[in-house]
Structure 1
Amino acid sequence: MPNIRARLLVVLVVLSGFLTLAGTSSATAATVPGSLWFDGSPLTVRNGRFVDGNGREVVLRGYNVSGETKLEENGGLPFASVADAQKSATALRALGGGNAVRFLLSWAHAEPARGQVDTAYLTAATDQMRAFLDAGIRVYPDFHQDLYSRYLFGSGSWYTGDGAPAWAVASGGYPQESCGICLFWGQNITQNKAVQQAQYDFWHNAHGLQDAFLSTAQQTMAFIRQHLSTDEFAGVVGFDPYNEPYAGTYDSGQNSRTWERDLLWPFYVAFRARMDAAGWQDKPAFVEPNLFWNSNISSQKQEGGLLDAGTLGPRYVFNTHFYDQKAISGILMWGKASDGQYAGDFAAIRDRASAAGTATVVSEFGHPLSGTVADKAPTVLKAMYQGLDTRLTGASWWSSPASSGPVLSGTQWQWDIYNGRHHELMNGNPGKVVTAGDAWNDEDLSAVRLDDTGTLALRQDARLLDRLYPSATAGTTVAFTYEDRSRDGSTTLTWNPVPSTLPNVGRLVGSGQYGLLVWRSGGGSAPTELHLPASFPTASTTVVSDLGTVYAPPSYTPAAPIAVAPEPGGTGSRRLLLTAPDSGVLHWALVTDGATAPSADLLKAARSELAAWAAAKVG
């Protein structure tokens, strides 16, 4: 549920010879290393990172698919058809650079009558999920809720919700919903008595609500497991049990931390047991803390973060959201975001996951793309992606790269191909047909839309969304940064310029985009992989590394330490492969689209500068 915390306060690159997943032969699998898409292994959690079958650290980047699930127009499904899902998946990979999606599901549609799971809904949802798996995109499903349920709201209400089915609401006998004086829908969380009481009942298992949900969740997971092939199921990373949990109201003497300890965590333990029973033993639960634990507004911030759950370990992933409440409020943040705006916020996420002994994912982040605060979106989103890439500011990255921290996984809210083209009867009211934006409580955050020709088009700068990032690191990531040169109107945003102490690197990069990865090798023959954005055509990409220097990298062969290969799934997107089959050795690679046919002398000089920098700053 995007930006809830704030509202509480007021092209396609065509590469010949690409392989489709279905047609990949065993010979090709040995020639072009993939991740799980070729060796059939799922991701696991190890040493606080996602790890593939080759032992490589994996970073998940992508989008939520999608807020359409919160609507009724397509029966609680992300898409109207499998064909739309396939079209969306191809664009998400090729235009948006994603390798993962948080795939929304609806409890109301999975269990429309108490105790009766709708297998037709689960079949349709699984078929749409398969479209992403077939495009080489990893998936983690999410039983989504906002304001508990749409059935709490009358046909004339200003607001709506999603999540629980009608029978769950009827069993509670809740009062007439009213938010009082509410300017924004999120205020219902703490001001609408019907919403508060319904949430309270769920966490206390009143009327057996939680038992029913857990039973449906188990049956849903079992169905997905049974209706995907072994290879397809390997692409399902885990399951997000409950979106943005909140107590509703606290018991006497209870606070946010004790609520997490006494009610939220036992629910996750119970959900984990249901995962095991459904055949998901080797996949983690993506567990979210109290939604206010990392609010960036002090008056809303609550103690939490699953502090009393102990070491979560590999069977759980610390899963959180981040929205800039101040920026969205329209009154608490003047001006735009800047370099390092969210360094502290994302450092807190890294630190909490590290203390919990597990991997982390920021499963929602974003900013409105219309309305009075939309002008902040280019800088806010750039700063959020910067926070995912590194815990440092751009101004400090070159001087202290060893403090960069792990690269975080994240899925932006959201990827809704029907943005601006909905036909949603709000709360079933034929007199309130919503077509604009995301068609849900005036939200408008989708990064994509269909243009007038029916072609999928980005609504944000492609240089911001389709990013260079280390999708699989053969060893341990030491530091990473990416200067995307994304734009705020006509202004190109450069927050991490190459320092003047590296003049030849600066000449090589020029005004272009660049990324720099530093890693320590972990042995094995599988290469390190970086997603190559469409803005990095192979013919004009330069790589300067301790492994060598190359302009226009060649197609992959086992003998090539620096090479390019298709991303799996046949979408036309590409990856850079860096092969260093040693162990414990520090490696680095600069990737840029800045220079045109750089001279051998310039490449040599840039490599020399970077080698000295790495030795001095990382060692």
Structure 2
Amino acid sequence: MPAIRASHASPRSVRMVSAVLLATAGLSAVDAPPAQAADGQGAVVVAPKQQSWVFRDAGGREVTLRGFNVSGSTKLYENGLLPFRTTADAARSAQAMRDLTGANAVRFLISWEGVQPAPDRIDHAYLDRAIAQIRAFTDRGFRVLLDYHQDLYSSHLFNSGSWYTGDGAPRWVVQAGGYPKESCGICLLWGQNMQNNAAVRKAAYDFWRNRVLTTSAGPVGVQDAYLAQAKATMTYMKQRLPQSAFDGIVGLDPFNEPFDGGLDGGTGLDWEKNHLMPFYQRVRAAMDEAGWNAKPAFVEPLVFWNTGFFEQGGMASVGPLGTRMVFNSHYYDGARMTVDPSPASDGTYAAAMNEIRQRAAALGTAPLVSEFGNKLSGSGSDRTPWMIRAMYQGMDSGVAGRTWWNGPAAGGSVLSSMQWHWDVYSGRHRELMNGNPGKVQTEGDGWNDEDHSVVAADDAGNVTLRLDARVLDRLYPSAVNGDTLAFAFEDLARSGYGGAGRQQAWLTVPSSMPTLAALVKDRQYAVLAWRGSATAAPTELHLPRSFAPAGTTVVSDLGTVNGVPASGAVRAVHETGSTSAYRLQLTAPAAPGAVHVALVVNTTAGTPVTAGQLAAARTELTAWTNRQFPSN
């Protein structure tokens, strides 16, 4: 690696480092293998929608990305710093996710340490394993967000007896940094290391200021090295992935949960403007040079911006992001994770999700919630089912269910999201914490005593859901031909685990629509209203497994069916890559500006639905639609 002696690298120096790292991977700019066939869902772009921005596919349909992070196992050495130990495990996991939840997207974690184990070397064998695992998802129709993951900067900052550990930066970076002995003091949560651990803070401080490190390959700016290996990774993936699979890569999340390491007397907004945004601009340039110019950078704000305590940042000082960057937020309920014992309920997270919507709109781009969730064991985990339910509700619509029918348009766009997380090795790890054979982590996520995985696998490898399927397998609009005007879903998920606990409907129909209220009483149902486009492409919604086509009723201006057929304007087809999961397709005539509506009800059980009831329900639904969404 050539010497980089300035604290701020020139574009030329980054190109020189990139060229060396690309050469170590055996690549040139024109060294592309033959393309192979894959059944992916295609590229998405950030595009306008009324007063906001959304994702759209090649046909102009408004796309909602829904899925999970795969996975926290990337933090573990037992997994080779990848989500899965084998490609077969990745395929098994992808198939289960598709079949059990109808997810259409994943945030796929990789590690800087895995990519660049030495300052002058890219581990292309690691990248080949990652590519094979990514293919397990793209081949089944998933879109993939590539995530460079880090927590507390690096595991190599921690000693063998530490209470905590990290992940991200390679050993050679930490060794060259010469950081103080780490100690968080009396920290109740691992995240407190970002504020209390001098070693963690100093390492982060150096990264954002591109400190020049003396390494075995000569002097190198630490941020320069990071950008060079990221560019090498993206170049390699573009050349090795078949075109259809590469189209399924929605973009790059360049740095998980950025934290400052020191504000130098300024504010979080100052730090984002002076340090974080210049880094993202450099990432954007690296993406363009690597051939990822059509894909957005999914950029995260300062991690503290919406924690509920000591909030800082939020990117309000950086100016418009534009369509080549996405506002990429996480959401965890810091209060209920620590001091607030109250349960979540209808509308609990509407304001929090609306804040994400509004911040993205102010930045001139689309939003994504790339992490959210809560623990599945330990103190307070009894509240998790309805916390997750309420988070999904807030992402579906920023209006509480009890008032949704009276003002659905106020709910905003449906938020795309990936839940943390999906780990098929949950509870079956064997990770030596900080390399210590006396501290073998086996339970939960195998990392910092966390237990967030929504799945586990048995001895035979069969994957099962740990949360109520009604929380995780959700009806959502995966592709809307035109503009979504409003969406809401009543999942009827119980407050406990395994179908236990209380059941309560949150999305309640007003008494002014008695037939609709009777039709959906004690049943799962969803409502989608949208404004059509000039094409006749279908609008698509994932149907949960509880909505068997034969037991699903649809009331719509496009047709009313009691039992969804396999053909026609209202039809059910298999999800890509699955023989058990279905999606509902609604095809409207090409008529830009026309308002459409669909009520989708799980009528598998309960009193049989009559033709007269459906006719009356359609009359009420039509009148409601005309009131709420009058035509131009």
The TM-score with structure 1 as length reference comes to 0.91
SS where residue 279 of structure 1 aligns?
coil
What letter corresponds to residue 163 of structure 1 in structure 2? G
Residue equivalent to 1:16: none
Note closer, same or farther for the CA distance 1:446–1:205 as it changes in structure 2 (3 Å cut): same
- Alignment partners' CA distance in 2, 1:76 and 1:128: 13
Q: Does 1:286 align with 2:320?
A: no
Residue equivalent to 2:278: 266
- Alignment partners' CA distance in 2, 1:248 and 1:571: 49
Give a deviation string over 1:16-59, Cα, whole Å, max 9, x none: xxxxx9697xxxxxxxxxxx63xxx4111111111001110000
- Alignment partners' CA distance in 1, 2:115 and 2:405: 50
Report deviation, 1:507: 1.9
Report deviation, 1:408: 0.3
The 8 Å contact of residues 97 and 466 in structure 1, kept in 2 or not, is answered as yes
Stretch deviating more after TM superposition (593-602 or 360-369):
593-602
Give a deviation string over 1:176-203, Cα, whole Å, max 9, x none: 0000111221111100000000000000
Report deviation, 1:453: 3.9
Note closer, same or farther for the CA distance 1:23–1:215 as it changes in structure 2 (3 Å cut): closer
The 8 Å contact of residues 540 and 597 in structure 1, kept in 2 or not, is answered as no
> Which of 573, 581, 585 is the aligned partner of 1:573?
581
Residue equivalent to 2:599: 590
The 8 Å contact of residues 98 and 578 in structure 2, kept in 1 or not, is answered as no
Report deviation, 1:416: 0.4
Q: Does 1:256 align with 2:257?
A: no
SS where residue 491 of structure 1 aligns?
coil
The 8 Å contact of residues 99 and 578 in structure 2, kept in 1 or not, is answered as no
What letter corresponds to residue 301 of structure 1 in structure 2? E
The within-5 A match list for 1:534-613 is 534-556=545-567, 560-580=568-588, 581-594=590-603, 597-613=608-624
Task: Name structure 1 gaps, 5 residues minimum.
Answer: 1-20, 25-35
Q: Does 1:317 align with 2:333?
A: no
Q: Does 1:145 align with 2:157?
A: no
- Alignment partners' CA distance in 2, 1:409 and 1:98: 11
What letter corresponds to residue 611 of structure 1 in structure 2? T
Q: Does 1:301 align with 2:301?
A: no
Residue equivalent to 2:250: 237
Task: Name structure 2 gaps, 5 residues minimum.
Answer: 1-35, 213-220
> Which of 481, 492, 496 is the aligned partner of 2:507?
496
Give a deviation string over 1:329-354, Cα, whole Å, max 9, x none: 1x2x1221111111111111000111
Report deviation, 1:313: 1.5
The 8 Å contact of residues 93 and 571 in structure 1, kept in 2 or not, is answered as no
Residue equivalent to 1:61: 66
The within-5 A match list for 1:414-425 is 414-425=421-432
> Which of 199, 205, 225 is the aligned partner of 1:194?
199
Report deviation, 1:219: 0.5
Stretch deviating more after TM superposition (567-576 or 427-436):
567-576
The 8 Å contact of residues 273 and 318 in structure 2, kept in 1 or not, is answered as yes
Report deviation, 1:171: 1.0
SS where residue 127 of structure 1 aligns?
helix
Give a deviation string over 1:64-109, Cα, whole Å, max 9, x none: 0000000100110100100000000011111122100000000011
Count of equivalent residues: 576
- Alignment partners' CA distance in 1, 2:139 and 2:337: 36
Report deviation, 1:426: 0.6
> What's the Cα RMSD here?
1.3
Q: Does 1:528 align with 2:577?
A: no
Q: Does 1:184 align with 2:189?
A: yes
> Bigger relative contact order, structure 1 or 2, given CA contacts below 8 A and separation 6+?
1
SS where residue 361 of structure 2 aligns?
helix
Report deviation, 1:508: 1.6
Give a deviation string over 1:569-594, Cα, whole Å, max 9, x none: 23531110011122101110000103
Residue equivalent to 2:481: 474
Q: Does 1:42 align with 2:43?
A: yes
- Alignment partners' CA distance in 1, 2:102 and 2:343: 25
- Alignment partners' CA distance in 1, 2:549 and 2:327: 36
What letter corresponds to residue 497 of structure 1 in structure 2? T
Residue equivalent to 1:71: 76
Report deviation, 1:499: 2.1
Residue equivalent to 1:10: none
SS where residue 532 of structure 2 aligns?
strand
Give a deviation string over 1:227-260, Cα, whole Å, max 9, x none: 1111111111000000000111112x32111100
Residue equivalent to 2:389: 382
The within-5 A match list for 1:92-103 is 92-103=97-108
Report deviation, 1:596: 5.8
The 8 Å contact of residues 38 and 245 in structure 2, kept in 1 or not, is answered as no
Residue equivalent to 1:157: 162
Give a deviation string over 1:307-327, Cα, whole Å, max 9, x none: 222221210000000000111
The TM-score with structure 2 as length reference comes to 0.90
SS where residue 292 of structure 1 aligns?
coil
Q: Does 1:519 align with 2:523?
A: no
The 8 Å contact of residues 97 and 465 in structure 1, kept in 2 or not, is answered as no
> Which of 216, 231, 240 is the aligned partner of 1:227?
240
Q: Does 1:277 align with 2:289?
A: yes
What is the aligned-residue identity percentage? Answer: 53
The 8 Å contact of residues 43 and 248 in structure 2, kept in 1 or not, is answered as yes
What letter corresponds to residue 599 of structure 2 in structure 1? L
Stretch deviating more after TM superposition (487-496 or 456-465):
487-496
Residue equivalent to 1:328: 337
The 8 Å contact of residues 371 and 418 in structure 2, kept in 1 or not, is answered as yes
SS where residue 587 of structure 1 aligns?
strand
The within-5 A match list for 1:346-385 is 346-385=353-392
What letter corresponds to residue 44 of structure 1 in structure 2? V
SS where residue 124 of structure 1 aligns?
helix
- Alignment partners' CA distance in 1, 2:262 and 2:587: 54
The 8 Å contact of residues 323 and 367 in structure 1, kept in 2 or not, is answered as yes
- Alignment partners' CA distance in 2, 1:354 and 1:73: 41
Report deviation, 1:439: 0.5
Q: Does 1:483 align with 2:494?
A: no
- Alignment partners' CA distance in 1, 2:413 and 2:478: 12
- Alignment partners' CA distance in 1, 2:61 and 2:120: 42
- Alignment partners' CA distance in 1, 2:396 and 2:593: 23
- Alignment partners' CA distance in 2, 1:59 and 1:123: 29
Residue equivalent to 2:91: 86
- Alignment partners' CA distance in 1, 2:122 and 2:100: 36
What letter corresponds to residue 358 of structure 1 in structure 2? T
Report deviation, 1:597: 4.4
SS where residue 529 of structure 1 aligns?
strand
- Alignment partners' CA distance in 2, 1:338 and 1:429: 42
The 8 Å contact of residues 95 and 534 in structure 1, kept in 2 or not, is answered as yes
Give a deviation string over 1:406-450, Cα, whole Å, max 9, x none: 000000000000000001011111111110000000000000000
Residue equivalent to 1:52: 57
- Alignment partners' CA distance in 1, 2:445 and 2:183: 23
- Alignment partners' CA distance in 1, 2:297 and 2:579: 29
Give a deviation string over 1:357-405, Cα, whole Å, max 9, x none: 1111000000000110101101110110011000101111010012121
The 8 Å contact of residues 38 and 244 in structure 2, kept in 1 or not, is answered as no
Residue equivalent to 2:26: none
- Alignment partners' CA distance in 2, 1:148 and 1:293: 19
- Alignment partners' CA distance in 1, 2:284 and 2:412: 29
